């Protein structure tokens, strides 16, 4: 993604998952970081997370990723349906 663009990720969270929040993040060419607002997922459902890259961001980006906060121990699989910008 480039400066000023919005990145959207769609994630499936299975039942039994202890994922309490999901963030989308990115780091620019000079390693400045940006995080999306957190999304509280619904178990056994889809969560959509969006991040708008600042218009003054130093591009190209070094990384784009997802961060999951857990409310307890959990080991399992989540599914990323799409990432688009």
**pTM, to two decimals:** 0.82
Closest CA to 38 of 25, 26, 27: 25
Question: What pLDDT, on the 0 to 100 scale, is given for residue 19?
Answer: 95
Are the CB atoms for 23 and 34 separated by under 8 Å? no
Sign of the torsion angle spanned by Cα atoms 39, 48, 1, 24: positive
Q: pLDDT tens digits for the chain (85 residues)?
A: 678 889 999 999 999 999 999 999 888 777 778 888 889 999 899 999 999 988 888 778 888 899 999 999 999 999 999 999 8
Whole-angstrom distance, CA of residue 24 vs CA of residue 33: 11
Whole-angstrom distance, CA of residue 19 vs CA of residue 42: 9
Quickly count: other Cβ atoms within 10 Å of residue 26's Cβ.
Answer: 21
């Amino acid at each position: 993604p480039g400066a000023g663009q919005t990145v959207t990720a769609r994630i499936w969270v299975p039942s039994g998952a202890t994922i309490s929040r999901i963030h989308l993040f990115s780091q620019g060419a000079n390693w400045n970081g940006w995080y999306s607002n957190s999304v509280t997922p619904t178990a056994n459902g889809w969560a959509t997370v969006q991040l708008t890259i600042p218009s003054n961001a130093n591009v190209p980006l070094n990384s784009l990723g997802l961060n999951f906060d857990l409310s307890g121990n959990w080991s399992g699989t989540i599914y990323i349906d799409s990432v688009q910008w």
